[in-house]
């Protein structure tokens, strides 16, 4: 079992890259929530391929069709199922890969687990394409959260060794909106240009690059989350690692917190008007697994796209001998840009699941 997340809100993703349709079923949404379909579609489009010159050429409309749970612009309290029909598929691109697992992909592990019966054309259910239904669910969650004054935004913090600015201590929703409208979702446009060039250079070398997405959740009251396995970190991480290509998640300073002293890392409490705040936010807004009222901030590491056009060493699983593989097809030299709304979407699903308790 696999493709479901949530406790109060069950989000079940289905579909294969080259199947009839992909989609999501969301059980547990409150009734009567207005969802702006145009706004939702704009959000989903942020992850769609073919947007700018750094992305794969596969064009899709990715317009969701609502099968249930949504009538007259409102959720009706019943399970909401929405699908996107697949189109523009080049399955033959994958024929030559049979028995030759692509390095860095799930081909080999899926072969072992499913015994060769899985529909792995285009990556099957492992495909990055399955993040589209995640964006449907997350886009709905985002609209509901906004009505509670909770905003979620993300940006590309780094590509290879090129760095964007980090979020300020208290990022505002206007900043999130500005970033969302950019072709390259970064805070600092000069940094964005460097990062884009790094991607294009990798593409020119038939190679790929990875990067880090920083995400912030603002407006969350203190006291949400829970102790031990119910902590916000664990709940967010378990979902974020569900996004393809994610290899690391850290909160606040994360791994960098291990480099400094406790006296530097501890966030001093201060009174700000009527509110308890902290002077710094090294803990990423979470203490003991529970929100402290400051923004939740976390970073997600995406590995370089494994699909590269260079010849690579692999094995022939039938003949059990060493061989090489050359991947044709269309692939992103970098998934990080398109991952930005996906991280926002998944964060929104987790936070909505949590505040429904």
Residues of this chain, 92-151, that bind a copy of itself according to CB under 8 A: 101, 103-106, 108-110, 112-115, 117-119, 124-126, 130
Toward a copy of itself, which CB reaches closer, 58 or 75? 75
Stretch that binds a copy of itself, among 35-43, 47-55, 137-145, 306-314 (CB under 8 A): 306-314
Contact 67, 82 (CB under 8 A): yes
Residue 35 interacts with a copy of itself (CB under 8 A)? Answer: no
User: At residue 269, what are phi and psi to the nearest 5 degrees?
Assistant: -80, 140
Please report whether residue 251 would count as binding a copy of itself according to CB under 8 A: yes
Q: Does 161 bind a copy of itself (CB under 8 A)?
A: yes
CB of 153 to a copy of itself, least distance (A): 20
* Total number of residues that touch a copy of itself (CB under 8 A): 148
Q: DSSP letter for 55, please.
A: S
User: Which residues inside 176-195 make contact with a copy of itself, applying CB under 8 A?
Assistant: none
Residues 45-74 binding a copy of itself (CB under 8 A) are: 65-69, 71, 74
Nearest-10 Cα torsion for 39, 346, 307, 301: 120
Provide DSSP, 138-195. Answer: HHHHHHHHHHTT-EEEEEEEEETTEEPPPPPSS--HHHHHHHHHSSS--S-HHHHHHH
In the bound complex, what is the minimum distance in angstroms from residue 92's beta carbon to a copy of itself? 16
208 phi and psi, to 5 degrees?
-145, 165
Three-state secondary-structure class, residue 213: strand
Taking CB under 8 A as the criterion, the residue among 174, 276, 328, 330 binding a copy of itself is 276
* Cβ nearer to a copy of itself, comparing 16 with 153: 16
Examine residue 296 and tell whether it contacts a copy of itself (CB under 8 A).
no
Residue corresponding to tokens 């997600």: 300
Using the rule CB under 8 A, is 274 a contact of a copy of itself? yes
**269's tokens:** 């409490």
* Region binding a copy of itself by CB under 8 A among candidate stretches 144-152, 175-183, 185-193, 250-258: 250-258
Q: Which of 50, 63, 77, 149 binds a copy of itself (CB under 8 A)?
A: 77
Q: Give the list of residues 6+ apart from residue 145 with CB closer than 8 angstroms, or none.
A: 151, 152, 348, 351, 352, 355
Nearer to a copy of itself, 96 or 266 (CB): 266
* CA–CA dist 2, 15 (Å, integer): 12
Min dist CB 44 to a copy of itself, Å, is 18
User: Could you give the angle at the alpha carbon of 82 between the alpha carbons of 80 and 88, nearest 5°?
Assistant: 170
Q: Select from 97, 144, 249, 343 the one that contacts a copy of itself (CB under 8 A).
A: 249
Least spacing, CB of residue 223 vs a copy of itself, in Å: 4
Q: String of b and e for 268-277 (b: at least 16 CB within 10 Å)? A: eeeeeeeeeb
One of 4, 165, 174, 197 touching a copy of itself (CB under 8 A): 4
Q: Rounded to the nearest 10 degrees, how much is the dihedral formed by the CA atoms of 74, 79, 85, 91?
A: 150
205 binds a copy of itself (CB under 8 A): yes
Q: Give the three-class secondary structure for 68.
A: strand
Which one among 40, 44, 48, 80 touches a copy of itself, defined by CB under 8 A? 80
Total residues found in the chain within this entry: 357
Which is closer to a copy of itself, CB of 62 or CB of 267?
A: 267
Nearer to a copy of itself, 90 or 181 (CB): 90
By the 8 A CB rule, do 66 and 80 touch? yes
Site string for a copy of itself, 322-351 (x = CB under 8 A): x-----------------------------
């Amino acid at each position: 079992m696999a493709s479901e997340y949530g406790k109060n809100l069950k989000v079940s993703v289905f579909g294969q890259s080259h199947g009839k349709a992909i989609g999501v079923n969301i059980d547990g949404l409150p009734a009567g929530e207005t969802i702006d379909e145009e706004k939702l579609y704009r959000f989903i489009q942020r992850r769609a391929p073919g947007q700018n010159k750094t992305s794969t050429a596969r064009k899709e409309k990715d317009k969701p069709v609502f099968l249930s749970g949504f009538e007259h612009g409102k959720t009706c309290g019943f399970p909401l199922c929405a699908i996107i029909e697949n189109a523009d598929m080049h399955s033959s691109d994958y024929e030559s890969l049979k028995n030759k697992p692509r390095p860095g992909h799930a081909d080999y592990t899926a072969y072992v687990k499913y015994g060769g019966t899985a529909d792995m054309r285009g990556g099957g259910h492992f495909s990055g394409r399955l993040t589209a239904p995640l964006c449907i669910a997350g886009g709905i969650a985002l609209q509901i959260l906004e009505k509670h004054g909770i905003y979620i935004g993300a940006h590309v913090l780094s590509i290879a060794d090129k760095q964007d600015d980090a979020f300020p201590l208290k990022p505002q929703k206007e900043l999130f909106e500005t970033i969302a409208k950019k072709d390259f979702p970064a805070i600092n446009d000069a940094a964005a240009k460097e990062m884009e060039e790094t991607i294009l250079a990798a593409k020119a070398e038939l190679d790929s690059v990875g990067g880090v997405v920083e995400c912030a959740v603002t407006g969350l009251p203190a006291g949400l989350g829970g102790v031990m396995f119910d902590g916000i970190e664990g709940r967010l991480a378990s979902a974020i690692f569900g996004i393809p290509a994610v290899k690391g998640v850290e909160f606040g300073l994360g791994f960098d917190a291990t480099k400094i002293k406790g006296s530097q890392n501890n966030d001093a409490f201060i009174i700000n008007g009527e509110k308890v705040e902290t002077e710094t936010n090294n803990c990423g807004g979470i203490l003991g697994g529970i929100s402290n009222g400051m923004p939740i901030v976390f970073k997600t590491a995406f590995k370089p796209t494994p699909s590269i056009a260079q010849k690579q060493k692999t094995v022939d699983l039938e003949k059990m001998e060493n061989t090489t593989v050359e991947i044709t097809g269309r692939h992103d030299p970098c998934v990080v840009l398109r991952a930005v709304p996906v991280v926002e979407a998944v964060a929104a699903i987790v936070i909505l699941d949590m505040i429904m308790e």
